[in-house]
Structure 1
Amino acid sequence: MILVTGGTGFVGAHLLYQLTINEEKIRAVYRTESSLEKVRNVFSYYTKSTKGTFAKIEWVQADITSVPDMIPVFEGVTRVYHCAALVSFDPKAYIDMRKVNIHGTAIIVNLAIDAKVDKLCFVSSIAAVGDSLHGEVVTEENEWNKNSKNHGYAISKYGAEMEVWRASQEGIDVIVVNPGVILGPGFWDTGSGKMFSQVYNGFKFYTEGVTGFVGVKDVIRAMQQLMDGPHKNERYILVSENKSFKEIFFSIADALHVKKPSIKVKPWQTAIFWRLDKMRSFLTRTAPLITKHSARSAHEETKYSSEKLKKDTAFEFETIEEVIKETSSFFP
């Protein structure tokens, strides 16, 4: 039995579809009935028999931060894909992120140890990889810097990784993947999907910050390959290409056949805007549109290497141009 946490999230939904192809027994955790509709939507991109494919999954309603909820979930489980996470740049969400990302992962690890599962794959993030030194390309060897200006999400994912490595010390084979910004169809109102929606709706602004990008299908393929292979107790950066946000926005605009963003935003402008938005957020008691950390990341230039994955598995990534074109073909 394969267990997938975060099955109603972006990565989890795409992973579940691929797992159903192999006719394996699958159990997935969900929180609310409404979240299941997003999974059905993702399945509809790949198959006309959405109902039949969806029925191959044993869905269990549970909260990963609740031990009583999660104990029965692990019955008969031999492999775990831990995809569940809370993602936010909002400082107000830090406590909740620690609860879900660190405490929730600790519970998953403890129950995996008790159940003596064979292998656990954890979906982390490049946010939890060490900083670039002197502008060099970041690899898995870069050490986490506790003194750097890490944001709450990065801290919580690093803390979650520490829990996963604890599992490796308790006899569980583990794989940690650190994807870059993941692009793919579905979830158009959150995460990277929101970039497609914004560009389609005439978003005018862009920055020239650089980071790593990867297609969701490549993330899933790498996870499955690493779980099915002999690899264990290793972490892998998953990045197809390092691109600027300008390049990504322009490529999305071309693929959607809409006007490209035309206004370059400079660092001093985002510095002003996040401060103004912080005041607006406080007065209206709504989530910020931009934070200090998201403003800074929009201008940073950090490049990542996936050479370790390519060397260990002969893995080949789709180009980001191909990913954007395919993703855009599903845009509603």
Structure 2
Amino acid sequence: MVLVTGGTGLVGAHLLLHLIENGESVRAIYRNQYNIQKTKLVFELYKKGDLFEKINWLEADILDVPSLEIAFIDIDYVYHCAALISFDPKDEDLLRKTNIEGTANMVNFSIAGGIKKFCFVSSIAALGDIAPHETYITEETDWNPEKPHSDYAISKYGAEMEVWRGLQEGLDVIIINPGVILVPVSKTKIFDEGISELYQKVVKGLKFYTMGSTGFVAISDVIKIAYELMKSNIKNERFTLIADNTVFRDILNTIADTLKVKRPTIHAKPLLMNFLWMADLIFSALFFQKRRITKATAKASYSKNLYSNEKIKTALGTVFLDVHHYIKDSSKL
């Protein structure tokens, strides 16, 4: 049997559907009964609602050791998708506890339970820092602790260290580092729980764009590759999963065109982005509101990072979906 954490999140929900479609017996853990409905919505989005009933749901938490003891009964393979994603500095402690301690718990139980293979869904945020002589960030790029990183990136890097510790203790592992994951979008479902916040902002009339770039990938590619890696003889490796390095403006324009809404028209240059995050810091402190833009997200918006996907293409012969075509085609769902 396969155990999936984070099954009520977008990656986990899509993974559950893919596993069941491929005849796998699956157990998924959840913390809140209400959140299960988000997964059901994903199944229904693909017109696969009947398969939802095949999931063996179990109430458990990656930070609650007693509940994990039950979750790991009769488990052979683990996909650890659960994580906290936040770029708000106030969430630093919670990020480290959830992403690092939670992963450590999953690794410990996997070792104790003799799990055959463990897949950890990480992020390109946990990859290294490019050196002056390098052009692309790869799986081998060194992490430089002297350089600034977001709390989220640090927590995912720390989680990866726990997975590599598991390898040293005899656990076969796979780490995947997806870029910005794009999900299906249709105008009638745009405000459903779990649909990318990026789409919501565009629909609501996002005015600003930036010329920074990063790696993007369709969620269907992420899920397919994770499954293929777990079924293969490949082990104890990490793989960067990006279809292409794309400018934020171009992605926003494709989303806007697909949804038939106005494109963002104001170029937010680095100076403006830095002003916005400082203004947001003051505003959130005065009115006790959650941060909408932080120093880390501002910097990411105009940074031009290039990531290489050569390793996974060589390992599996992967041909990635074009992300612009994916956005347009997924609007038909």
2: CA distance, partners of 1:329 / 1:122: 31
Quick check: 1:185–1:327 contact (8 Å CA) kept in 2? yes
Quick check: 2:31–2:61 contact (8 Å CA) kept in 1? yes
Change (3 A) 1:192 1:131: farther
2: CA distance, partners of 1:246 / 1:132: 23
Provide structure 1 residue ranges, at least 5 long, that are not aligned to the other structure. Answer: none
Amino acid at match of 1:176: I
- Counterpart of 2:102 in structure 1 is 104
Quick check: 1:182–1:192 contact (8 Å CA) kept in 2? no
Change (3 A) 1:14 1:188: farther
Question: TM-score of the superposition, structure 2-length normalised?
Answer: 0.95
SS in 2 for 1:316: coil
Change (3 A) 1:263 1:189: farther
- Counterpart of 2:241 in structure 1 is 238
What are the within-5 Å matches in structure 2 for residues 17-28 of structure 1?
17-28=17-28
SS in 1 for 2:290: coil
Aligned residues with identical type, % of pairs: 47
Q: Offset at 1:89? A: 0.4
1: CA distance, partners of 2:227 / 2:303: 31
- Counterpart of 1:145 in structure 2 is 144
Quick check: 2:5–2:28 contact (8 Å CA) kept in 1? yes
1: CA distance, partners of 2:191 / 2:17: 18
Worse overlay, 129-138 or 75-84? 129-138
Quick check: 2:277–2:293 contact (8 Å CA) kept in 1? yes
What are the within-5 Å matches in structure 2 for residues 1-332 of structure 1?
1-47=1-47, 49-50=48-49, 52-134=50-132, 136-185=135-184, 193-330=196-333
Change (3 A) 1:213 1:19: same
Change (3 A) 1:243 1:190: farther
2: CA distance, partners of 1:191 / 1:153: 19
2: CA distance, partners of 1:14 / 1:55: 15
SS in 1 for 2:291: coil
Provide structure 2 residue ranges, at least 5 long, that are not aligned to the other structure. Answer: none
Change (3 A) 1:190 1:299: farther
Question: TM-score of the superposition, structure 1-length normalised?
Answer: 0.96
Amino acid at match of 2:13: A
Q: How many residues align?
A: 328
Quick check: 1:124–1:178 contact (8 Å CA) kept in 2? yes
Q: Offset at 1:86? A: 0.2
Alpha-carbon RMSD across the aligned residues, in angstroms, is: 1.5
Point out 4+ residue stretches in structure 1 off by more than 2 angstroms: 185-192, 326-330
